[in-house]
Amino acid sequence: MPTSLHRGLIGALALLCAGWLLAAAPAATAAETRTVTDQLSRTVTVPADIQRIVVLQHQTLDILVELGAADKIVGVLRSWPSLIPGLDKYAPQLVGLPTPGDLSTANVEELLRLKPDVVFVTNYAPAAMIDQIAKAGVPVVAISLSQGEGVEAPKLNPTFADDDVAYAEGLKAGVKLIGAIVGKSERADQLLDYAFSRRAMVQQRVADLPQADRVRLYMANPDLSTYGSGKYTGVIMARSGGVNVAAGVRGATKVSMEDILAWDPQVIFVQDRYAPVADQIRQGSAWQHVDAVKAGRIYITPEYVKPWGYPLPEALALGELWMAKTLYPDRFADIDMQAEATAYYQRFYGQPYTGPN
């Protein structure tokens, strides 16, 4: 029968063990999670081992596929097929996945049924949407792929001191962040190294072009809309040796035919996702007075160019090269775009590129 001394020793040992367990508990929890800072400067605690991802931003969706994490995606934004045409060829597992939201909306009830470990959203997703998901107990990470600060960070059309720097550094930070969260840091580094090395080659070849000799470019989106300053489109044009004639307007915006006639671009680009716009321009009577139309220099960008408002590694690795070769073929006569695209797609999408050049 235990004596009072024995009972005291047992009690002391129990208290000591309880103390050890309490002390060990935070360490175990910390080992199962990690804290990251997203591109809205929000501190987010995410599981250390991510297995289920919902992604409500098309740029992040594309990056996840390139990082080899498509098998972890359990939910996607509703509009992804129209925003990233052709991605289903390289990630067929995305087809038919649940769509619990879009760029600016989320059905939290549907989202919770998917039991995600993390939800990726765009930087300009409404704050109320982000808060609603977070309060439901799901980690939310905002991705901008740009280096916006303060009030500019959550804007769709931000203002930067230097668009080029903001998107270069923001792309690096965003890809590294996504890679770290989904356990693909090494591949994220490889993706960035590849993209920026190809960019450097293009820059070297167009660096000596006098400003007066650079081709004047216009990006034609539906309904007379275009991309002005503050968007990656201006960066890709400048990097390829061209000049965005719409640089005087901000962001993604609608302009007038009078604006376009005054700018008189020498080349017009149309994104592949908006391909019908090219025929509308060719057939439009007002457009016949524009230099690019008279010269027949209207080009539909291949899907890998992605001259969107936000950058992607593919745009740096292939898009800037394609655009530069289109504008200055003599300077890039040795470049085979089919070979370039196939090499990139084989490495980061796991199969050859099958679209047009």
**Which strand ranges, in their side-by-side order, compose the sheet holding 73-76?**
73-76, 53-56, 118-122, 140-143
- In this prediction, residue 80 carries a pLDDT of 97
DSSP per position, 115-161 = --SEEEEETTS-HHHHHHHHHTT--EEEE-SS---GGGTT-SS---S
Res 300: pLDDT: 97
List beta partners, residue 299: 269
Q: Point out the domain boundary residue: 183, 218, 252.
A: 183
Q: Same domain for 50 and 162?
A: yes
What's the confidence (pLDDT) of residue 354?
87
Q: Report the percentage of the chain scoring pLDDT > 90.
A: 87
Q: How sure is the predictor about 323, in pLDDT bands with cuts at 50, 70 and 90? A: very high
With 0-12 / 13-18 / 19 or more C-beta atoms within 10 angstroms meaning exposed / middle / buried, residue 14 is exposed
d(CA 90, CA 143): 22
Mean pLDDT of the chain: 92
Q: How far apart are CA 238 and CA 324, in angstroms?
A: 9
Q: What is d(CA 318, CA 324) in angstroms, rounded to the nearest whole number?
A: 10
The string of pLDDT tens digits covering residues 180-234 is 999 999 999 999 999 999 999 999 999 999 999 999 999 999 999 999 999 999 9
Let me know if residue 280 belongs to a domain: yes
Whether pLDDT at 100 is above 80: yes
Q: Is 37 within 8 Å of 150 (Cβ atoms)?
A: no
Are the C-beta atoms of residues 319 and 236 closer than 8 Å to each other? yes
Tell me: do 171 and 219 sit in the same domain: no
pLDDT at 9: 41
With CA atoms as reference, report the closest residue to 300 among 322, 324, 270. 270
175 and 107 co-located in one domain: yes
Query: Across residues 276-304, what is the average pLDDT?
Result: 97
pTM of the model as a whole: 0.88
Structure tokens at 340: 């370039």
Is pLDDT of 26 > 80? no
Residue 30 has a pLDDT of 53
CATH classification at residue 77: 3.40.50.1980
Q: Which of 166, 183, 200 is the last residue of a domain?
A: 183
**Count of structural domains, the chain:** 2
The DSSP code for 301 is P
My answer on whether 110 and 44 are in the same domain is yes
15 domain-assigned: no
- Using pLDDT thresholds of 50, 70 and 90, give the confidence band for residue 4: very low
Assess whether pLDDT exceeds 90 at residue 169: yes
Q: What's the pLDDT band for 92 if we cut at 50, 70, 90?
A: very high
Q: How far apart are CA 231 and CA 234, in angstroms?
A: 6
Q: Mention every residue, 6+ apart, whose C-beta is less than 8 A from residue 123.
A: 39, 40, 142, 143, 144, 146, 148, 153, 154, 155
> Model confidence at 17, in pLDDT bands (50, 70, 90)?
very low
Same domain, 93 and 141: yes
Specify whether 147 is located in the same domain as 274. no
In a domain, 194, yes or no: no
Looking at the fold, whether 215 and 343 belong to one and the same domain comes out as: yes
- Name 43's bridge partners: 37
Please say if the pLDDT value at position 237 is more than 70.
Answer: yes
* Helices of type H across 2-114: 4-32, 58-66, 80-83, 87-90, 108-113
Q: Which of 1-15, 21-35, 276-290 has the highest mean pLDDT?
A: 276-290
| Residue 86 domain boundaries | 32-183
* Residue 245 and residue 113 share a domain: no
Tell me if 10 is assigned to some domain. no
Q: Which of 183, 201, 233 is the last residue of a domain?
A: 183
Place of tokens 């007379």: 224
Residue 7 has pLDDT above 60, yes or no: no
Tell me how far apart the alpha carbons of residues 78 and 338 are, in angstroms, rounded to a whole number. Answer: 31
Give the pLDDT score at 16: 39
**27 domain-assigned:** no
**Does residue 266 lie in a domain region?**
yes
Q: What is the mean pLDDT of residues 262-285?
A: 97
Taking residues 161-165, report their average pLDDT.
Answer: 95
CA distances from 31 to 20, 34, 37 (A): 17, 7, 18
Residues 171 and 267 in one domain: no
174 and 45 share one domain: yes
Note whether 130 and 41 are same-domain residues. Answer: yes
161 and 256 in a single domain? The answer is no
Burial class (CB in 10 A: 0-12, 13-18, 19+), 260: buried
How far apart are the C-alpha atoms of 296 and 324, rounded to whole Å?
A: 18
Q: Give yes or no for residue 24 having a pLDDT over 80.
A: no
For residue 20, being part of any structural domain is answered with: no
Q: Which DSSP category does 252 fall into?
A: E
Instruction: Please check the confidence at residue 14 and state whether its pLDDT lies above 50.
Output: no
Write out pLDDT tens, residues 109-134: 999 999 999 999 999 999 999 999 99
User: Contact 37/46 with Cβ under 8 angstroms?
Assistant: no
Would 204 be classed as within a structural domain? no
Average pLDDT over residues 165-170: 96
